[in-house]
Structure 1
Amino acid sequence: MTKSVDVVVVGAGLAGLSCAHVLSRRAVDVLVCEARDRVGGRTDSAVVDGETVDLGGQFLGPGQDRAYALAADLGIPVFPTHTDGFHLAEDAAGRIRRFRGLVPRLGALSLLDFAQAEARFERLARTVDVEAPWRSPRADLLDSQTLAVWIRRTLRTAGGRQLFTTATRLLWACEPSELSLLHALFYARAAGSLRTVMATENGAQQDLLDGGAHALAVGLADRLGDRIRLRAPVSRIAHGGDGATVTVESGDTIRARRVVVALPPALAGRITYDPPLPAARDSLTQRLAMGATIKCMIVYAEPFWRSAGLSGHALSLPGPVAALADSSSPSSPHGILTGVLEGATARHLGTRPAAERKSLVLAELTRLFGPQAAHPAAYIERDWTAEPYTRGAYAALFPPGTWTQHGPALRTPIGPIHWAGTETATHWYGYMDGAIRSGESAAAAINP
């Protein structure tokens, strides 16, 4: 089958759907090709024990204006993440302490050390140009070192280093040695500050969507209707001065004046392009691996931890889950805890049987919250590294040298081909809001 449209969007995540939605409202003839049998990309949901739980992205926070606007437009209620009560922190020796606020009390010297490192990080982040990180002052120096090197040079105590390393895994789903310092600074600057991305109240984890964040994608898809083709992985894009021909694995082809590739760079690089993409773009996609995450959702008959004066939020240095959050909806009697296995832990435990991972996670929850935690009503997980059309989460990772050597190729169109996805966002990179912004920006740049 051969079809002709104005624009083909490759990928039905929030970026691709947002792009197609804007174009369709301009009466542009658009078709979205999605490899999976569902929409949503790195958002997804499941119903367990009668409760809808998010298996991918889920949180919103102040400044994520496009995500809040979309939720309001679709009539999806937003509610605050539960934070009342004491948080828990488990140190490397297994001691569990209660605390309030953002940073756990794991020793006075370690806390002071972490605070001075955070202040230095924030000062550096404010120097980064979010539109073009490679043009930032001292960009070459910042991009020549890993975040691990900066941690070793900046923090003086073992406890402070361990705390900053744990924060790295939570924020980027990788080890500090995998990440350029410039990218870490850019990521924080694109969200406002490091404190913003770490915080729940007044931070990136402040709010949740009633019915799950995947409802954003479903709502957009409902509006687009038959403009979306599922189970249609794109294998080839032939492009030239007169437009492009997109080929899906079934052999069907679609002619279009413009194409928007709304995929993580690692997946965009697996498509065959004819003629081949410029070396700068190809070199970029070869370097941008995804973070490693296995998301765990644990559902209980009720949020029993609240009766003990606990918030449901916890940090654990022994793990395997570094951080837990209460994701319970006020409209449901269930209690829901959210945890993510990240970085090296996710890669290691991803090779183990699912039953073993569940046992390890429940053992940690039992240590933290008591024997009731050992008996959830339901337990479900999603290994995003094993997803063939995602290959990881939360977002692509920039190793040293990538921003300064290859960054300009990230958003630059190539003939009729445009790029979208949260990785192309200059604000809220790696977040749902960044994905939505990127799709809207790609649509605004297109005159089919």
Structure 2
Amino acid sequence: MSQDISRRALLSGAAVTVSAVAGAGILGAGRAGAAPRGGTVDAIVVGGGLSGLAAAKSLVASGASVLVLEARNRAGGRVHNIKSPKVGATLDAGAEFIGPTQDHIAALAREYGVSTIPTYNQGDSIFWNSGTATRMSAALPLPIIPAAPQALGGLTKAQVEALAGFPVGQPWKHPNARYLDSITWQRYIDTTVTDPTAKMLMTVAMSAALSVRADEVSALYFLNYIAAAGDEQNPGTLIRLLSTDGGAQERIFVGGAAQVPLRMARALGNRIVYNAPVRSIGWSGTRATVRSDAGTFTARKVIVAMSPAISDQIRYLPGLPAPRVGLTRGYQMGSISKFSALYKRPFWREKGLSGQVYGNGRPIDVTFESYTEGQHILMGFISADAMRRLDHAPESQLVRECIENFVEYFGPEARDYIDYANFKWDLEPWSRGGPVAVSAPGTLTRFGPALRDPVGPIHWAGTETADFWTGYMDGAVRSGQRAAREVLGGLR
């Protein structure tokens, strides 16, 4: 098979130049450079999401020749904008929010001229408990209800454990790692609080972030997730993880978060090959051979910028070591969809509501207000069992259930929507869920180091491999930059 990096491949009926470009400073100029003729590039990046793009950007800036192979026909991965079908409004289908200490994604947004606005957080939010709505100030972390003190005690215990000797990004080194990784978050809740409402509050604190059931994820994993909600100068906190003002949901991107990776991809130019799912990676000596649907390419190094839950779709030759295999088998993607309804006016504000709901409502358990191009939006997450139930349901059923859920939360005006949009990440073949892959009990303490340990010429990226802000856009960027540093160290 040809190893000519500059050959033309026919992808989706259009001729696309497949090339890798060497030289530092090209990205800053925002233009493509000359492609080397034949031979081997310094690095192939598998995956054109934020992580892979950040890795490629760093490598090119250091003078390395790079080729990015992306399975989809677009860049961005789990950061994706879609259009509503009637009015054509731009909506965030995937990652959307940005907040304090997420400085890596913020720096990229500034570099590429993508601005942000505050998430609306005025008035009251709603705590929904089995059909009963309790209004609470949007500034409060918990509703003022009888179960609140016990729930606060349980969440405070989790926060203390997340700060007690947690080596962020290496939870298997926690002093109590073996026990915490032997139980699920559900077991952690059951041994911490007794009140049913307090249990539900602790469950929602996890499911709102991970979109899985409490019995599907290791307690150690979620405690590390809390510890990761910060940076090197600011320890991670549960408040920062879950809050709007001062938290991870503080701001949204004007025009959609996907503008950042799309502009990064434009700067990388013809270094990216789309419609190129990678089928196998083989290596021998100092060369790796990457076979994709767009052709076969060779490189000195490879970065696999994919979730560990789906990276095993690639065949590795020779095979991966047992710890890496065990790690990928112990991870699963969350089940999630984002449903958005567009309105001419934010009628909920007229009722003194922020547009935010959390609790055990179905199918939507968490909502936020959003805004795009003159349209006011109620956005809700469908997750875990509710999402799995609706994955293959008719679109009309999903829309009906979601709108009636909004009616329960905000009143009959919610039926007067002008358009809607929905994106089922479970059915997206190159993600298989979202927002992040989570680990089952026993995975991190047995196989955790394999999350980032290189295998031959292969290095691992993706938001799941980040230290701080794993699961978020900032974590994705951090992981790509870290993998690029590893590769550059091996190329010298």
Could you say whether these structures have the same fold, taking a TM-score greater than 0.5 normalized by the shorter chain as the test?
yes
Aligned pair 1:422/2:463, yes or no?
Answer: yes
Cα distance, 1:95–1:395 mapped onto 2, change above 3 Å? closer
Secondary structure of the residue aligned to 1:397 is strand
Taking the TM superposition and a 5 Å limit, the aligned residue runs for 1:5-404 are: 5-48=41-84, 49-105=87-143, 107-108=145-146, 110-127=147-164, 128-191=166-229, 192-250=236-294, 252-329=295-372, 332-404=373-445
Cα distance, 1:292–1:106 mapped onto 2, change above 3 Å? farther
Cα distance, 1:164–1:336 mapped onto 2, change above 3 Å? same
| C-alpha contact (below 8 Å) 2:122/2:138 kept by paired residues | no
Provide Cα deviations, 1:197-227, integer angstroms capped at 9, x if missing partner.
Answer: 1111100000111111101110100100000
Tell me by how many angstroms 1:106 deviates.
6.2
Tell me by how many angstroms 1:301 deviates.
1.6
TM-score by length of 1: 0.96
Bigger mean CA offset, 52-61 vs 311-320 = 311-320
Higher relative contact order (CA 8 A, sep 6+): 1
Q: Which amino acid aligns with 2:123?
A: G
Tell me by how many angstroms 1:316 deviates.
3.9
Bigger mean CA offset, 231-240 vs 296-305 = 296-305
| C-alpha contact (below 8 Å) 1:117/1:155 kept by paired residues | yes
Aligned residues: 444
Tell me by how many angstroms 1:395 deviates.
0.8
Secondary structure of the residue aligned to 1:260 is strand
Q: Which amino acid aligns with 1:357?
A: L
Q: Which amino acid aligns with 1:362?
A: I
Q: Which amino acid aligns with 2:486?
A: A
TM-score by length of 2: 0.88
Tell me by how many angstroms 1:168 deviates.
2.0
Counterpart-to-counterpart distance in 2, 1:96 and 1:361: 20
Tell me by how many angstroms 1:233 deviates.
0.3
Counterpart-to-counterpart distance in 1, 2:76 and 2:290: 21
| C-alpha contact (below 8 Å) 1:302/1:333 kept by paired residues | no
Unaligned runs of 5+ in 2: 6-39, 230-235
Identity, % of aligned positions: 37
Secondary structure of the residue aligned to 2:358 is strand
Provide Cα deviations, 1:322-371, integer angstroms capped at 9, x if missing partner.
Answer: 11101125xx4311111110111111121322211111110011122122
Secondary structure of the residue aligned to 1:115 is helix
Counterpart-to-counterpart distance in 2, 1:24 and 1:18: 10
Counterpart-to-counterpart distance in 2, 1:323 and 1:130: 27
Q: Which amino acid aligns with 1:313?
A: Q
2:36 corresponding residue in structure 1 = none
1:409 corresponding residue in structure 2 = 450
